[in-house]
Amino acid sequence: MRNHFFALCVTTTCLLQAAHAQQSVQFSQYVFDGLTINPAYAGYKGDPYLNTTFRDQWTGFTGAPKTAVVSFDALTNVSDDRMGLGGQLLYDQLGPQQNYSLTGSYSYRIPLAGDQPDDPHRLCLGIAGLLSQYSLNGSTFQYEDPGDPLITGTTVRTKFVPDAHFGVFYYTKRFYAGGSILNLFSINGGRRIYYANGSAYSSLLEGTTMYLTAGGMLDLSDEVKFKPSIMIKEDFKGPTNSDFNVFFLFDEILWVGGSYRTSMKFWDKSNLQQNLQASDAASLMAEFYINPQFRIGYSYDFTTSGLSNYQSGSHELSLGITFKTKRFGQYMATPRYF
């Protein structure tokens, strides 16, 4: 079976560097909305927070991924901020494949020594449950052998998949570190969408993925702050990915910075080819606070591999709204940098 998305699928496989290395959806602007990679992040900002992000990946590439997410999280009680709740609705499309998922997150926030309203020290434990709907649209395929009995169907085939996430998140006013494991039920992989009389793998079917993150905030002057961070992403099948991020904050209003992503070989994986080369990408980002409650962000990603000859980079737009609430009898004033 062959279709006009074949070139895209091959390229995607090369980027993931493993034949069945499905990975979780990742946004470049996760550094401003940690709930997308860690359920323990729920309630971190203190005030209720609504975020929406749209990503148009590999612009100009036929059938390229398009992803959108809307998330909301808040504390269950602003006077006793021990528990946070979050929800997320995600849509992801790659050629003839689509994925809708609904996620609910819960975080329990433990105060540690030195915890104060203006200088928090918290260890957060989070868990999330989700239900995803994956589908393949057979009417978009172009067949080389139309008479093949295994590919006679042309309708949309759908599969519902439940799963769960777990995460840990520690933060102070100037430092954070976290770890999470997404798609716990998918650790053995092998999930398929059955298509007509046969079956097909969907590259949107996500495998278990682990994230490790850490970062900090440094004052360069009264008006300028510097925020370096790192994220390690491991899907246990393909090469390990690492993000190195640097951002500057000007007057508590404008974030400007970038990210460099590369794949690394931290340990031997028998399923990987020995001559694989690292795939690299970079992002430029800006986040602007129109006022203390409303944020708008944009990022542009570009690859440094051969794929750059066939597409015009990736664009990502995000909007965030903070709903001010009272805590300890007054409105919250402590900024949330992570």
Residue 58 vs residue 179, higher pLDDT: 179
Least confident range of 88-97, 136-145, 177-186, 315-324: 136-145
Mean pLDDT, residues 210-235: 95
Please tell me the predicted confidence (pLDDT) of residue 7: 36
Contacts of 78 (CB under 8 A, 6+ apart): 46, 47, 325, 326, 327
Please report where in the chains the tokens 């997308």 appear, as a residue: 36
Given a cut of 60, whether residue 316 has pLDDT beyond it is yes
200 pLDDT band, cuts 50/70/90, is low
For residues 303 and 16, what is the distance between their CA atoms, to the nearest angstrom?
13
Task: Name the residue among 102, 91, 103, 99 with its Cα closest to residue 158.
Answer: 99
Q: Give the tens place of pLDDT for each residue, 6-40.
A: 333 333 333 333 333 344 667 889 988 899 999 99
245 pLDDT band, cuts 50/70/90, is very high
Given a cut of 70, whether residue 295 has pLDDT beyond it is yes
Please tell me the predicted confidence (pLDDT) of residue 119: 84
Please tell me the predicted confidence (pLDDT) of residue 9: 39
Write phi, then psi, for 2 (nearest 5 degrees).
Answer: -140, 145
Q: What's the pTM?
A: 0.83
Give the domain ranges of the chain.
44-267+275-330
Partners of 166 in the beta sheet? 127, 181
Find out if CATH 2.40.160.40 is the number for domain 44-267+275-330: yes
5 pLDDT band, cuts 50/70/90, is very low
For residues 299 and 256, what is the distance between their CA atoms, to the nearest angstrom?
10
Write phi, then psi, for 211 (nearest 5 degrees).
Answer: -120, 135
Residue 298 vs residue 80, higher pLDDT: 298
CB count in 10 Å sphere of residue 294? 12
Residue 186 vs residue 104, higher pLDDT: 104
Q: Give the tens place of pLDDT for each residue, 64-119.
A: 889 999 999 999 986 778 999 999 999 998 888 889 999 999 999 999 988 887 78
Residue 142 vs residue 318, higher pLDDT: 318
For residues 316 and 133, what is the distance between their CA atoms, to the nearest angstrom?
23
Please tell me the predicted confidence (pLDDT) of residue 324: 83
